[in-house]
Amino acid sequence: MGAEPYYGPDFGLLHRQDPELARVLLDELDRLRGGIQLIASENFASPAVLAALGSTLTNKYAEGYPGRRYYAGCEVVDRAEQLAIDRAKRLFGADHVNVQPHSGASANLAAYAALLQPGDTVLAMELSHGGHLTHGSRVNFSGRWFDVVAYGVRRDTELIDYDEVRELALRHQPKMIICGATAYPREIDFAVFRGIADEVGAWLLADVAHTIGLMAGGALPSAVPYADVVTFTTHKALRGPRGGGVMCTGELAAKIDRAVFPFIQGGPLMHAVAAKAVAFGEALRPEFAGYARQVVANARVLADALAAEGVRPVSGGTDSHLALIDLREAGVSGAVAEQRCTAAGITLNRNAIPYDPEPPTVTSGIRVGTPCVTTQGMGPEQMKEVASMIAQVIRNPDAAGEIRERAAALSKIHQIYPS
């Protein structure tokens, strides 16, 4: 037998060598364990995912793709990337998957680069109605380099106005239509978007960064059968490492691969690619479907319970992992609510609601999501308790101390990373 292999993180070693940094890691774990995490785009990656992330695969340069790299010595890491690709293809039934994007934003940049030229017209969801920075914000490459026309939600229903999408598509003849959002609680009808894209001869990009985990678990319909290109992240409801990916039709495979490398990225992060393989493997297990369904069930209970407390869920509820809450009835802004909840150990984010009268730094809403609390094993009863804590503390900041203790106690019963 040779030497025992070193393949993973050794916290004891880090603590001895760099106690200052080790303290940061411990404090963050304490923060997570000491409260309730409701940021809709976060989750708790499994210990196996963390082990892959903390592995020696971080050392390897591997520009290129499995079997065709620009560096020697890639035959081992090739296996990690091939596993990630094969598992993602099996999970989503996609023709082609690229697992190298460092983030969802990078995945979107690759999609633009593969399909468009600067100056082309794109039709995408308005950021303040739930879209994303990379869907045409002026402060982002997408708004600077492309001519982006925005669609939104209806004032009365707060649902995507598919008639408006079609009218705008016919009028502006976009080269690409983007569907997918970061703060839209409802199911998106990919078939309708496909029909509109076909009518005007546009590419359809589905950015499912937020909902990919729910699609993996069958809790929401998949965008893969409808979109030419599907971009995603691996760290949200999918519960993997921080990172992104792109799926596409076989016809676009070479274009997407060339857009990811060498156009927008250099060396892939092989430890992250390996961790993506682990996460896809976990999502392929039957129990992941139960997790995905519970994430949605919890979000529904949380939204309904908040409504019962007198704060209105935008669009009346949710079909997904998140709810967007209109706080105007409670007389507090999103910024104040975020700060009061933080003081009470409940981490969530302020968020614009559609047609928000307040600026983006203030907002009239908060976004709450259930991927983290569901990973912790919380269910409907706990969601009702969390809703009552939120409703109490946003109206009465003096309750923060007491709520903080309740939040910590709830989190302790459902402790993350218990070992």
Q: Would you name the residues annotated as active-site residues?
A: 61, 63, 207, 233, 236, 242
Q: Contacts with ligand DSN in 66-105 (CB under 6 A)?
A: 104
Nearer to ligand DSN, 100 or 137 (CB): 137
* Binding mask of the shown chain, residues 122 to 141, with x at each position contacting ligand DSN by CB under 6 A: ----------x---------
Least Å distance between CB 32 and ligand DSN? 17
Of the pair 55, 347, the CB lying nearest ligand DSN is at 347
CA distances from 55 to 5, 62, 77, 275 (A): 11, 15, 12, 9
Determine the residue type at 9.
P
Structure tokens given for 53: 């992330």
The answer to whether 180 contacts ligand DSN (rule: CB under 6 A) is: no
For ligand DSN, which residue of 182, 231, 364, 370 counts as binding (CB under 6 A)? 182
Kindly write out the interface string for residues 40-69 of this chain, putting x where it contacts ligand DSN by CB under 6 A and - elsewhere.
-x----------------------------
- Establish how many alpha carbons lie within 13 A of residue 43's alpha carbon, considering only the half-sphere containing its beta carbon: 33
Residue 233 or 411: the one with the smaller Cβ distance to ligand DSN is 233
Question: For ligand DSN, which is the closer residue by CB, 77 or 208?
Answer: 208
Residue number, 43 or 182, with CB nearest to ligand DSN: 182
- Shortest distance in whole angstroms from residue 41 CB to ligand DSN: 3
Select 132 or 166, whichever has its Cβ closest to ligand DSN. 132
Please say which residue, 55 or 142, places its beta carbon nearer to ligand DSN.
142
Closest CA to 69 of 81, 53, 52, 57: 81
Residue 139: both structure tokens together: 């402060």
Q: What is the C-alpha end-to-end distance of the chain, expressed in Å?
A: 30
Per-residue contact flags (x/-) with ligand DSN for residues 302 to 341, judged by CB under 6 A: ----------------------------------------
Location of structure tokens 């999408």? 165
Q: Does the footprint of ligand DSN cover residue 37 (CB under 6 A)?
A: no
Cβ(244)–Cβ(101) under 8 Å? yes
| Cβ-based nearer residue to ligand DSN, 169 or 346 | 346
Closest residue to ligand DSN in the complex (CB): 41
| Least distance to ligand DSN, CB of residue 25, Å | 22
User: Would you count residue 370 as binding ligand DSN (CB under 6 A)?
Assistant: no
Smallest separation, CB 210 to ligand DSN (Å): 6
By CB atoms closer than 10 A (0-12, 13-18, 19+), residue 307 is: middle
CB of 55 to ligand DSN, least distance (A): 26
Alpha carbons within 13 angstroms on the beta-carbon side of residue 364 total 18
Least Å distance, CB 331 to ligand DSN, is 26
Number of shown-chain residues binding ligand DSN (CB under 6 A)? 4
Minimum gap (Å) between residue 42 Cβ and ligand DSN: 8
Q: What is the nearest approach in angstroms of ligand DSN to the Cβ of residue 301?
A: 21
Contact residues: ligand DSN, CB under 6 A:
41, 104, 132, 182
